[in-house]
Structure 1
């Protein structure tokens, strides 16, 4: 809740500002004064209020929260959400749908590996669908909300939830920036962000980007652009309306990566493209609208109401390595790769409406901070998938029938592109309605207790146009949560939390059976540390998560999932970030995660065995990210230089087998210097020592190699 003496909505209602205030941490409910430059009027802040967060400082929340701000993204020259999430060790990469989706696991759990990972946008479910990898343009801050928060947010993974806080119109101000940069492989990118005060109560913020260039992968050229405007309108001193629009497009060949034969990661060069250029680009596009109305009833109570609509469409064809050994000639001669050919049309529509009332009251000596909310979520996914598959080797197929490419000396376009047949023509629909309540009670100055819960009702429908069979299932569940925060004294806070979760699984298995919803249970204990007057903050936490009705990718039926029963993840993580004396910024993030299957499963069609103790795919036990940056002046001009390191341990590269991806350690450099007033030169080098590394894997025949040494340089103007 924000209270202003003058120009109340100059900053009020903008989540980036609210989140920045959260870093003051120890202010709690005490008033913190700021001086507004315009008119030199004081702005009095009595707390911070956000979607699903309420009027709490970060230290009061019984949950681990890591934040990656726009400055950090800018420092590292990061343009993709996937790369940004590498900065937090609790988040690791998963199968990215041929480079066309964001997929990640938090604390070892990834959800449905055949779907892009869901995330929140300004507190609204907004990351589902097939719009391509999310660009970092327009992101003000990334929150990694770890731990048992599903009881409040709903329909999320128990390991945590990613919330993207977008750059929104800031009322009453005019400012902007524009940049152009050039990078390795001829990549050119332009980006602009302009905030224009149109009237006293109406402001437009226009954000856009365009990028074009080759990649380190042979024959893989990419084009992407996006337009992300935001409109802010003050409807009086206590009410703000915000509208955000999203229009993006990505064009790039679908790329399953390289093959690894007999554990040899040098089977082919990391640049070798094993698809077919004749398939052309796969196109992913998204169009979205989000509107939020926030009203302050008083200094204690506020209401947030809003909704969003997002349509995504992914279309294209690809030639992918055949994963079934009985159809794969590569295992016979070591160079003839048999390939499927696939065509996809994934059309998804996602609608969300939600309302939340936040406030506080007293009962005797107890202070209550209350959240009461409800939301409704509709997701429709039309899956039209066609495929050509090589015959079995027992039938002695020709190279043309096998759609073969020589991995040692590839000749593309050697055979006509095979004609595909319809494999999937299905629409999945989910409707979910939930309501939640949370009360955090201040017992004493040092002790707070949180209790709450969420009730969800799900309806799952599948319309299979091939079989003519329609299926429908309904589920409902109450998910409780509880937490405690104890502050023994500055600068330490101790917390513990427990929660249950409930999330629908999308789609059916290869036999057309709708999956049961996923259920989870989470427990977390930890401590938070704030030093140097809140300039340096850290969190140490231990956790254990269990899930039932877990899905994994079906290695024998790519594009489908299979239910592996139960899974467990447990571990320890440490996050530290802030500023040291001498204008030195530091970031430390480490996670130890032990994620494994906890039940046996035998695939009846292929005798594919998953046993208790089998590691979950693409989850390293050890993950570490370090970064340090130093700001200084050269000849009266501001400058900064920094370096970072990421270590990712070895991890499973295929569900239920012994195939492992090796560990890797990457180093990066970045810097910037002001060449004249309002103009800066910036640059970065990633993978400084050109290490061969592997981002993720589906099987030994679908391994995504990591990017080699990459350099970028550019100019940025501000006004």
Structure 2
């Protein structure tokens, strides 16, 4: 059934006429709004730009002008006509920040429509800042937010003839910027609001004939290149209903504007007074990464550390190991992960690296920094992806990524990532790598303001246990890097199960409560021929058969309340939280009695001189203990904005730690109760919009596991950091830079008690000073870059004064003075070769000390990587080459002269992925 439609025709005299035509029932809602606008608004001519009211892809007669703010005589009540032109410094009235929860791009018969999804579209006001061929509008008091709470960026390149690019970004904490770049001139923009949100209809400066002759292809309008987070959509069932592209939140390309790790709130990186770098998913895909080791090397100040027999992932951040007795230095969505195993990359959305102390938010962490792995979340629209990677050393790695809604109203969403991996290594073990991983996630949108996430992840990993090579004199022994000095069947087994939930309720736009829980269980086992000591003259390496068997369980509960309010002109984002953690461990180490394990000649090794002893024959039990640690943390943080360009961060945390350890060998129990307060203060000043200057002071603490001769546990180690820096955003915020200088001092470090070497005393101090530079983003369309440089001077500044020489003045192990990285890709944007891309990487690590005693040196190296890839429609093929010139290099040492880990030689990985 068709009805009459009112179409306001605006004349230069300001008189409103009414013409009659027909419209469908789906447009009835707009009719009342049109009447309201025409009855209450006096429209005047002031600009050559055009704007109009549209209904989906149908256009109503446009008005001739866009008004300036100064020329509006009556306040507008609808977003239909809120596009206004103003001087650059004009600001919109202050109001609550509107959450835009999604972006859609729909084709029309004249161009394309961009829909900003929000239930209060009428509250959005646009300030026009257009110039040249670009239409630019700022939507004040608004922010892009995913259902999961993450900020995101939307970009569509060449969505239709005549338009080069559309971007929608968070310009700052309270402003969304929409940019539309025309090929030959500024596009015409048409506006209206619906129950779905605010719609911008875009018509390029091109003739209707040109538009009608645009080829009909299977490529979806509004998207230049599909990705795992922007999957191709299926055609609509209705012929007149547009195909839509739903952007679900992954930062576009290499750019990332926000991070949660530094403040536990969604905060623009430019407003954080501490160094934080984000490695987005696109970098992992371009580099063909299946190990986090190869991902964090893109970030300044991170160096490889001992990996416990190539079975764990540990790093030095700003000179300090990220491993502590309370687990590894990884967070998973803000929860501490355990020590052991290799973190899986298949379900990673991005990696956030926070440099410096983070104890104020996460409790006991080493002062160098922390690596937070942000996991992918369910999508509102069906998405199915499969990938197969095949490469050197018989690598075979299929994976799937499935997501979508369970029900029609999309309140119940799921995501499933699963991986199987099987490969050999470049080291000559009989043992290979076999790995299973599965991670389902379920999201239940209980109501408009309440959401529940349920997560489970399971990992089973088996690989060789490998201590690597040995040092002779001041250098690594000149033997092939493929040679093993243990036994060919040395093995490491790891099993991990994680289960958790996250419940979030938004009382209002300014008050949110989050409650999260995670249970983590890890079971590790190894059996190896452990290297002990090398006779440098004969090349004979003594060894000992030994086995570790350990179990860790951790229960973690987090509750946060985030409130936003103002005291006069000063704005606050207040965070209050409570963390509860209980961790239990139990384990043993068994050894074959001394003298029964055959030694090996590193120059002419002979393996399997005796049959591998059964576990029952490892009768020398040197460790049999169980321990527990209960922690309570209470923290408060206030992000204060005195002005748009002047911000202060204040935070403090109080922790209670109750430890108990039982030695089952002698039936003794030791306990320790610690209290710690860790503050943080930072200031940010932005003299001009792209530049942020900052300074900060922060502290950290970690409970000590060292035991005095009287049986008591040492007091916690403390870390103190001073940091200053400058951050910049360029090319319309597509390229970010960060330069930081810092000093970290770690005190109360356990050192050997010279009266009894079996015990320790707390007299050690270490200091790290450095300078870091990071660059990441897009230089030109299709040209991405992530690069870094770090100068790190980490040394022992205090040691046991009674020791003979000791380590005073020594450099910390595995920390290079200089390190740098460069990875850049370019993808052809048009023509017959569109979708073809190339990548090249250079990774430099300077000379490092191999142990704390500084008895030998690991040489510097420059490793080169390369990639070629081709993406078309919904598939992508790639070849990645690591260590292109087959350079011999050494990554790190585990704990000294007999545990040097060699780097992999030339490695090739091919991949093919398909998305539906």
* 1:140-170 residue CA offsets vs partner (Å, 9 max, x unmatched): 1000011343223321222221111001112
- For 1:432, the equivalent position in structure 2 comes to 631
Change (3 A) 1:55 1:258: closer
- Is 1:312 equivalent to 2:457 in the alignment? no
Q: 1:422 aligns with which of 583, 601, 621?
A: 621
- For 1:179, the equivalent position in structure 2 comes to 387
Q: 2:315 aligns with which of 104, 112, 120?
A: 104
- For 1:490, the equivalent position in structure 2 comes to 689
* Other structure's SS at 2:393 match: helix
- For 2:331, the equivalent position in structure 1 comes to 120
- For 2:899, the equivalent position in structure 1 comes to 702
Is the 1:99–1:133 contact (alpha carbons within 8 Å) kept by the matching residues of 2?
A: no
- Distance in 1 separating the partners of 2:473 and 2:299: 33
- Is 1:527 equivalent to 2:726 in the alignment? yes
- For 2:548, the equivalent position in structure 1 comes to 344
Report matched runs for 1:108-507 at 5 Å: 108-112=319-323, 117-125=328-336, 127-130=337-340, 132-170=341-379, 172-199=380-407, 200-219=410-429, 220-279=431-490, 281-323=491-533, 328=534, 330-334=535-539, 336-388=540-592, 390-391=594-595, 401=596, 403-417=598-612, 419-420=617-618, 421-506=620-705
- Distance in 2 separating the partners of 1:593 and 1:553: 26
* Other structure's SS at 1:689 match: coil
- For 2:44, the equivalent position in structure 1 comes to none
- For 2:878, the equivalent position in structure 1 comes to 682
Change (3 A) 1:264 1:497: closer
- For 2:93, the equivalent position in structure 1 comes to none
* 1:72-94 residue CA offsets vs partner (Å, 9 max, x unmatched): 00111111112211111211111
- For 2:835, the equivalent position in structure 1 comes to 638
612-621 or 12-21: bigger deviation: 12-21
Deviation at 1:113, TM superposition (A): 6.7
* Other structure's SS at 1:74 match: helix
- For 1:398, the equivalent position in structure 2 comes to none
Change (3 A) 1:44 1:439: farther
* 1:616-661 residue CA offsets vs partner (Å, 9 max, x unmatched): 1111111101111101156254121110111001111112233111
Is the 1:13–1:294 contact (alpha carbons within 8 Å) kept by the matching residues of 2?
A: no
Is the 2:154–2:247 contact (alpha carbons within 8 Å) kept by the matching residues of 1?
A: no
- Distance in 1 separating the partners of 2:607 and 2:153: 51
- For 1:629, the equivalent position in structure 2 comes to 825
Deviation at 1:264, TM superposition (A): 4.4
* Alignment RMSD: 3.1
Is the 1:23–1:534 contact (alpha carbons within 8 Å) kept by the matching residues of 2?
A: no
Deviation at 1:278, TM superposition (A): 4.5
How many equivalent pairs are there?
A: 692
* Other structure's SS at 2:720 match: strand
Is the 2:170–2:177 contact (alpha carbons within 8 Å) kept by the matching residues of 1?
A: no
- Distance in 2 separating the partners of 1:389 and 1:562: 30
- Is 1:576 equivalent to 2:785 in the alignment? no
Is the 2:421–2:434 contact (alpha carbons within 8 Å) kept by the matching residues of 1?
A: yes
- Is 1:54 equivalent to 2:54 in the alignment? no
Change (3 A) 1:602 1:178: farther
Is the 2:324–2:366 contact (alpha carbons within 8 Å) kept by the matching residues of 1?
A: no
- For 2:173, the equivalent position in structure 1 comes to 28
- Is 1:14 equivalent to 2:164 in the alignment? no
Is the 2:414–2:440 contact (alpha carbons within 8 Å) kept by the matching residues of 1?
A: yes
- Distance in 2 separating the partners of 1:97 and 1:624: 25
Deviation at 1:577, TM superposition (A): 0.5
534-543 or 382-391: bigger deviation: 382-391
- Distance in 1 separating the partners of 2:154 and 2:370: 19
- For 2:853, the equivalent position in structure 1 comes to 656
Change (3 A) 1:91 1:561: farther
* Other structure's SS at 1:692 match: coil
- Distance in 1 separating the partners of 2:152 and 2:312: 30
TM-score norm. by structure 2 comes to 0.71
Deviation at 1:244, TM superposition (A): 1.5
- Distance in 2 separating the partners of 1:348 and 1:638: 47
Bigger relative contact order (CA 8 A; separation at least 6): 1
Structure of higher CA gyration radius: 2
* 1:340-385 residue CA offsets vs partner (Å, 9 max, x unmatched): 1110101111111001111211112211111111101122221311
